[in-house]
Amino acid sequence: MVENTQVQVDEHGHQEHPVSLYLKIWVLLFILSGFSYMVDFMHLEGLLRWSLILLFMFLKAGLIISVFMHMMWERMALICAILIPPLALTLFIGIMAIESNYTFFSRLMFFTGS
Amino acid sequence: MQNKKTLEPPQGISGFVADWSGDKEAFHVPWGKAMMWIFLLSDTFVFSCFLIGYMVVRMSAVEPWPNTSEVFALEIGGQHIPMVLIAIMTFILITSSGTMAMAVNYGYRKDKTKAAILMLITALLGLSFVGMQAFEWSKLISEGVRPWENPFGAVQFGSVFFMVTGFHGLHVSIGVIYLFTVAIKILKGHYEKSGNYEIVEITGLYWHFVDLVWVFIFALFYLW
């Protein structure tokens, strides 16, 4: 078992990163969260607000997955197995967005008495 | 894994093909780690369904949605600060993810004391997060927010708020118990004989996932 572990660590390689790497990512996540907070604080509206919120969200998520969860050092087989299935959700989100717009307009038309 | 590897395994896309077409294991990682990843993938779908459900009720609500920035504002020292509690909770969770990442790093180095202490710090930060969430919930409940009504606008706000943050809070609470359990086992020398500290990385994957979900809840629930 001990030998096995040794092999694994070497194979998946380079899992021993300097602590400073994690500290850098940590600071970066703080800054990105601060930016997200500023978007609300400065009362940005419309497309600008949306694109900034989503940009900071995906940057933070990417940093956590790739560095903290070590995804960037995994083999392609695992990366694909974990990251490709959630892509199907984008289709789901799209369908549900269309559906909720339809529900919204139906409600406006039939239930709000206007 | 039994064979002594004399050649470097192929990397990248050809590595993907070689691993998935192999007649044995596809994922050349410890089984515990593979299972945690598969569990997290399933959990991703559960959280996604909740967040998509939130999007649907919000986009189809005829009444105006409450202004979350004001709903979650606090009066501190006479000052009215919007979203201050959520900001603190976010920073605490990011910090706990940082301490967890360092615990994993010391796990690889088999520095068990440092790994266990960093995990305990992570658990305590998680505990403070749950405490603040309890405070947030009780404040909203005292203001009359219920799963079926709220004084701020669309009724759907109450149900979605309690469901999404409650399910995330449950994950944090389970994570705190998990972290305490593993940290204490490490300190007791449970993994001494095998010298195998993979459990630290597996626990870390769970904890980072909890932080990851919060990133989405923070952006979609509190900032939208």
Q: What is the pLDDT along chain B (224 residues), one digit of tens a residue?
A: 555 556 777 888 888 888 888 887 888 889 999 999 999 999 999 999 999 999 999 999 999 999 888 888 887 777 888 888 899 999 999 999 999 999 999 998 889 999 999 999 999 999 999 999 999 999 999 999 999 999 998 999 999 999 999 999 999 999 999 999 999 999 999 998 888 889 999 999 999 999 999 999 999 998 88
- Say whether A30 and B94 touch across the interface (CB within 8 A): yes
Nearest CB to B56 within list A4, A11, A100: A100
Query: Does the CB of B50 have a partner CB in chain A at under 8 Å?
Result: no
Nearest CB to B27 within list A29, A70, A78: A78
Point out which residues pair with B80 in neighbouring strands.
B75
Test mutation, A76, A96, A98, chain B, max B CBs within 10 A: A76
Please report whether residue B7 resides in a domain.
no
pLDDT number for residue B114: 94
pLDDT number for residue A113: 63
Please report whether residue B8 resides in a domain.
no
Q: Based on the structure, what is the number of domains in chain B?
A: 1
Exposed e or buried b per residue across B131-161, where buried means at least 16 C-beta atoms within 10 angstroms of its C-beta: eebeebbeebeeeebeeeebebebebbbbbb
- pLDDT cut 70: percent of chain A above it: 85
Chain A residue numbers touching B34 (CB-CB < 8 A): 78
Q: Which domain holds residue B115?
A: 14-222
User: What angle separates helix B31-60 from helix A88-110, to the nearest 10 degrees?
Assistant: 20
Please report whether residue B5 resides in a domain.
no
CATH of residue B177: 1.20.120.80
Distance separating alpha carbons of residues B149 and B66, to the nearest angstrom:
12
pLDDT tier, A8 (very low <50, low <70, confident <90, very high otherwise): very low
- Say whether B5 and A7 touch across the interface (CB within 8 A): yes
Of B168, B60, B4, the C-alpha closest to A111 is B60
Q: Domains of chain A: which residue ranges? A: 1-73, 74-114
Please report whether residue B2 resides in a domain.
no
Please report whether residue B101 resides in a domain.
yes
Please report whether residue B135 resides in a domain.
yes
Please check the confidence at residue A4 and state whether its pLDDT lies above 60: no
* Closest Cα in chain B to A52: B219
Tell me the one-letter amino acid at B21: S
Please report whether residue B4 resides in a domain.
no
pTM score of the predicted model: 0.89
Please check the confidence at residue A44 and state whether its pLDDT lies above 90: no
- Say whether B27 and A22 touch across the interface (CB within 8 A): no
pLDDT number for residue B83: 83
